[in-house]
Structure 1
């Protein structure tokens, strides 16, 4: 039973990672399209938001297999987590921008955001409801 739970968690983390790759591609494409017009902070927020929308759809449906039609609490938690990560990564990107090449700084802040996002998504945003556990 514990082995199966462990395998399921590994599968879930791999799915989260695959969704994260898609999000990162969306994020990077949007960032480098808007960066020259908006600057690094606004560009980071816009690009992170594009990746966040992709993330919510795929993580809700595929990674964490949520079956409920609408859960406004979940949407609020998802938005809160991702807004905090977007703000934190925007500030960190701004601080690193003069010290590293922009692509390296963007990659570094993205990696930091991924780890925080998984743990908060798993434990708080997409937490299973008691009814689904039965």
Structure 2
């Protein structure tokens, strides 16, 4: 059930991310800064929904820091991957190719580190 809920939250935030990214690229913003802006929009929503609905975890400072570290690392990985792939394929396609890789990273970090039961 946790994996399904994480996937629903991921679908919502990924849709927002991809739509915003595509719009920014269409407005001539380069792939890397467009990715930073679009990916960052889902971070707060992702934390709130995953904390309260997916993992049903309490609120703690340590958890918020862990979430920040894991999602900022995911942002870095996503940006590097998108920027590289955008040199080979169109930027929106590069963004879509990066999604499953980053989904796995985010799920593993959330499940095994950020929201693990103490």
TM-score under structure 2 length normalisation: 0.91
Moved more, 16-25 or 38-47: 38-47
Q: Which runs of 5+ in 1 are unaligned?
A: 1-10, 130-134
Q: What's the CA shift for 1:101?
A: 2.3
Structure with more contact order per residue of length (Cα contacts < 8 Å, sep ≥ 6): 2
Counterparts of 1:1-134 in structure 2 under 5 Å?
11-35=1-25, 36=27, 38-66=29-57, 68=58, 70-129=59-118
Structure 2: gaps (5+ residues): none
Q: 1:104 to 1:32 in 2, by over 3 A?
A: closer
Provide the secondary structure at the position in 1 that maps to 2:30: helix
SS at match of 2:87: coil
- RMSD, matched Cα: 1.3
Tell me the TM-score normalised to structure 1 length. 0.81
* Alignment check: 8 A CA contact 2:18 2:96 kept: no
